[in-house]
Amino acid sequence: MAVPALPEWDGDVAAARALQVTLAQQVSLQDELPAPLRYLAGFDVGFEDEGATTRAAAVVLDADTLQPLESQVARIPTRMPYIPGLLSFRELPALLAALDRLERQPDLVFVDGHGIAHPRGLGIAAHFGVATGLPSIGVAKKVLAGQHEPPGPTPGDRSPLRYRGRVIGTVLRSKARCLPLIVSPGHKVSMETAVAQVLRCLRGYRLPEPTRLADRLASRRDTK
């Protein structure tokens, strides 16, 4: 599918943070999913050449069976250093390049990273959703902003992630004896639907299938 172009990184951190605040106002937390869902997609990013190349992986799955249907990898020069809170400016161009290679347009996207569970409400999954218009969910492994109580030990146990008086995500136990995931809406998905979709995509692993498969491809455990 055709994807939008992003402006070049000019090193202006303050301007990037201000843009995050502006774009976060465009995030919708209302469910705008097609029915029925046909295609899910998982996206993740890795790096090659000692960080000089950004490698983005996209995997499309059948929404009913969770069988993988298509995978793509895009490699582009890494355009900026890692800056906490500005991950999407570093990784989103490669993710959009991988999306552009897909033959099937996903109905719902799972991104390895945060949705609105971000200090300025625009993690990489939210930025991805606003940039493309696709419904998106963030599935992260660590908290970036907020506080929470530990969820119970049983898969499906959860606790709210709160930041400055509002709930920005869900801390979800996806597998027994494993650290929980941080699930948050990205765009066009409610908090409840984000959690429900992640739970529906679990197949005995810590990660839901879309991001688990994308993680394997991005980290080169599966090659392409």
- Domain coverage including residue 122: 29-218
Domain assignment present for residue 224? The answer is no
9-39: pLDDT as tens digits: 777 899 999 999 999 999 999 999 999 999 9
- The verdict on residue 134 lying in a domain is yes
Q: At 129, is the pLDDT very low, low, confident or very high (cuts 50, 70, 90)? A: very high
Whether omega for the bond prior to residue 4 falls within 30 degrees of 0, making it cis, is no
**Chain mean position to CA 62:** 18
In a domain, 49, yes or no: yes
Other beta carbons less than 10 A from residue 65's beta carbon: 8
Known binding-site residues for Mg(2+) equal 44, 112
Question: Per the structure, how many domains does the chain have?
Answer: 1
Name 126's bridge partners.
Answer: none
pLDDT computed for residue 5 by the predictor:
54
Asked whether residue 100 is assigned to any structural domain, the reply reads yes
Say yes or no to pLDDT of 6 above 90: no
Q: Is residue 43 part of a domain?
A: yes
- What is the C-alpha separation between 86 and 156, in angstroms, rounded? 30
User: Which pair of tokens denotes residue 67?
Assistant: 């069988």
Residues belonging to the binding site are 44, 112
Q: What pairs with residue 109 in β-bridges?
A: 41, 136
Q: At what angle do helices 13-24 and 124-132 cross, to 10 degrees?
A: 70
Distance CA 23, CA 121 (A): 9
Angle formed at CA 195 by CA 223 and CA 149, multiple of 5 degrees = 105
pLDDT exceeds cutoff 90 at 4: no
Q: Is the pLDDT score of 210 beyond 60? A: yes
CA distance 27 to 138: 13
pLDDT in tens, 139-189: 999 999 999 999 999 999 999 999 999 999 999 999 999 999 999 999 999
What average pLDDT does the segment 182-204 reach? Answer: 98
pLDDT-derived band at 96, boundaries 50, 70, 90? very high
Looking up residue 198, the CATH number of its domain turns out to be 3.30.2170.10
Tell me: pLDDT of 130 over 90.
yes
The whole-chain average pLDDT of the chain stands at 94
Domain contains 122: yes
